[in-house]
Chain A
């Protein structure tokens, strides 16, 4: 019997960014999870980076959609359309029928939501799909050997959700997720600028502020950013300056919430694993890991050593590469 080598596909379908890995081709897509449609014909006009640039700037004939909200599929058609667009870009790709697909999802995703992800893959023509928690893929992608009996603790601050988990012996021992993450920070920034500077800004601008001046270091050198939007009082375009100090004050209560989730995981961790965590420390990954001072912040509030993953934004898809080799079984260490 000839051995059928299945083509491995790993998908990190995040709220903010979509990363797709195809065995033999590498990471074929790493762009925002956005898709733009022409309303009349229903056709896809742009996906990824191009569609992202259209956010908040469309006329009535174009609809821009984010298929995922808070880590789960909210618009199935848009999700399908985006994936089709992604796969079309890889011209030399053979049929998807003989492929094994791994989709990563946040930790507290319900069974129905997981079925929806599997269904999405089916509709793309992929027959063999399995779902894994992002936290597991992210841990492997950060370079941790989760198959040993040593506990590993991960904090993944993504766009739609923040996942916190403890792993050991090849699987998740316990995990929690909360829908307070990157996008929530953007929304808080928007509200703040609205109230404080009387300026209405768009989501892309809010994200720019977050990316350029956010910090969790109380005594960092102050950075400023000049942004523009629509003045609420006069109704005319206007500009304002936002400082890193303002964003710092904004981030504290948000990270308080995230720390509470971390506490709740630690409180339930079996003592042998807690002992490992004291010795091995915690790993942070995801977009939130890029905020300056996030490592020091957690070290201070938790009293444990913390390190950032080497490639915070790609950790999940890197881990998915490895998980494809053992189909997620905790008994087989794919690195062997």
Chain B
């Protein structure tokens, strides 16, 4: 009986959760959200279905985003969501049993949380579980060479956090993280519309505005606009509003400046040899935020360095976990966590 050992990579982000399995590609790509029935405590929806309920729930439903600002804020909800994700995958393709897994948790994950996530993966059939930092794995997925001593800089603009880091010889030399990212821009849009137009809009509406109008380029003569709806704070009545692209551009620029500042700090803390490597190669931007129109040019201008966008910004973390797992296979000096299973069963 031939047992196929699968390599599985998990990117457990603030806004999105992605799971990759070798030979199958991305098997899960949905928002990091989970909904519970308040009375029974049972999980009623997870992923896209739960995310659709945001801002629209009645009293019987508890909608939780278990990762906030890159940190697990609700461990039970996180475990419940991961359990749902793994069970969903397992019901379609039997890959968990005997698999090697790399889970990229948010930064600053505590020991207790790491153990809990590891225990869950082991319980569901994985044999070898490693927890890694997203920015490092994302750098690998964006093209960093895991074994070479060439400095490689990556800026990962995600949903909850933007991380800037420089890798060399497969690990981080210098890194910083700020909570200015996708969700921050959404919240700024909500605030801006409230103060400027006295209109209260919901979080999903703000996200739609960002997706349609987010840009760093100076708007052409024919400016783009987006019609959104919310509640007028003066009259209390629902109302529609036309938002112009230039207004949103202004908010995006403010956010990107903070991210560029963070990148500059990372560069300043790097040893001079590595700085020289980065100068000769280029800074790579990845993550959902890398797709903001005009970001590459804006950053090039701010840092006076060459900037390129990763080929697959959304999946660079899971791509990196694939690389990690494959290189562990060919270099079997990895530490097997079988001991975890023995101690915790």
Write the residues of chain A forming the contact surface with B, with a CB cutoff of 8 angstroms. Answer: 149-151, 167-169, 171-173, 263, 266-267, 269-279, 302-304, 330-331
Contact = CB atoms under 8 A, between A and B. Distances in A.
Contacts of A277: 238
Contact of A263 (B44, B53, B56, B237): B237
Nearest to B35: A169
Contact of A272 (B37, B205, B237): B205
B295 interface: no
Given A169-B61, A278-B239, A278-B240, A270 B229 contact: no
A254 to B, nearest CB: 21
Contacts of B229: 274-276, 278-279
Interface of B: 37, 44, 52-61, 200-205, 228-231, 236-240
A274 B53 CA distance: 14
Nearest to B194: A271
Contact of B58 (A171, A263, A275): A171
A48 B264 CA distance: 82
Contacts of A167: 58
B56 A169 contact: yes
B53 A169 contact: yes
11 contacts: A168-B56, A168-B58, A169-B53, A173-B59, A270-B55, A272-B202, A274-B229, A275-B238, A304-B238, A330-B60, A331-B44
A171 B237 contact: no
A279 to B, nearest CB: 6
Contacts of A275: 201-202, 205, 228-231, 238
A229 B93 CA distance: 80
A151 B205 CA distance: 14
B288 to A, nearest CB: 21
A72 to B, nearest CB: 23
B239 A271 contact: no
A150 B204 CA distance: 12
A173 B238 contact: no
B160 to A, nearest CB: 20
A331 B37 contact: yes
Contacts of B204: 272
B61 A274 contact: no
A329 to B, nearest CB: 10
Given A272-B203, A275-B201, A330-B60, A149 B53 contact: yes
Given A270-B202, A271-B231, A272-B204, A303 B55 contact: no
Contacts of A279: 229
Contacts of A171: 58-60
Given A263-B237, A275-B238, 14 more contacts: A150-B56, A168-B56, A168-B57, A169-B61, A171-B58, A266-B231, A266-B237, A272-B54, A274-B231, A274-B238, A275-B230, A278-B229, A330-B61, A331-B37
Contact of B57 (A169, A266, A303, A304): A169
